[in-house]
Amino acid sequence: MRAAVRAAQNAGIQVTIATGRMYRSARRFAAQFHVQAPIICYQGALVRNPISGATLLHAAVPGAQAMDAVAFARQAGVHVNAFLDDKLYMEADTPEGQFYAGISHVPITYVDDLRQTVAGGATKLVFVTDEPEVPALLASLRQRFGARAQVTRSHPRFAEIVRRGVNKGRALAAVADGLGLRLDQTMAIGDNLNDLELVTTAGIGVAMADGDPRVLAAADWTTGAYEDDGAAQAIERLLQARAKAPP
């Protein structure tokens, strides 16, 4: 993958990352791949330059919805994380919380009352439970919040809430505009449902072969599975097409 990204960068193609991760977590990957362009974090709620730290976009969940999300978690007995000022907040030390922090490699800030912490808003909230429980959890969240917030899934064990209208596709538009590019000059690669708007917004939308069926159906074409380094295959295909294009 690193070789494919470097080849794209050497060809003058801007490469970035679009993730549900926190900025502090995503920045590590940006550094590994020498990404210079603004990176998309928190499902598109935050777009920030990994070099200068300048913020291009930040769309937080309003306080009322954030507090309601915490109330829902308490009523349902589900662990919930809140994200504010690029910090991870939890109300209790649980196996679910430790699982999230472990894969994100970020420290936990514990508070007595998470509702009070998010009263002024939160960048994102994540509910963590066992994988078989997530579909029902997503349905309950969509029923409760309706059009008041965006509900999505980024991991088999996670259900997430971001501000209404927030998604990676909208964030991609902000990145492209900042770089002076048209959307038809962009390509995006995704697999999970939280990548759907990213894939449909980009000029070329690419789905991983093992991705969510809805992402596969919406993509312009399909690349290899994650285990087969499908993202690198997609970049190589793009470079080959550019090399064959008439001057």
What confidence score (pLDDT) does residue 162 get?
97
Amino acid, single-letter form, for residue 41 = C
Average pLDDT, the chain: 95
> What is the pTM assigned to this prediction?
0.92
What confidence score (pLDDT) does residue 241 get?
87
What is the rounded distance in angstroms from the CA atom of residue 178 to the CA atom of residue 227? 33
Torsion of Cα atoms, 37 then 43 then 44 then 46, to 10°: -80
Written as six digits, the tokens of 177 are: 């505009």
pLDDT above 70 (res 247): no
Could you give all domains of the chain from N- to C-terminal order, each with its CATH number? 2-59+167-220+229-242 (3.40.50.1000), 63-163 (3.30.1240.10)
pLDDT in tens, 49-66: 999 999 999 999 999 999
What confidence score (pLDDT) does residue 15 get?
97
Written as six digits, the tokens of 134 are: 């997530």
Q: Spell out a b/e string for 1-20, using b for 16 or more CB atoms within 10 Å of the CB, else e.
A: eeebbeebbeeebbbbbbbb
pLDDT above 80 (res 246): no
Mean pLDDT over residues 95-107, rounded?
94
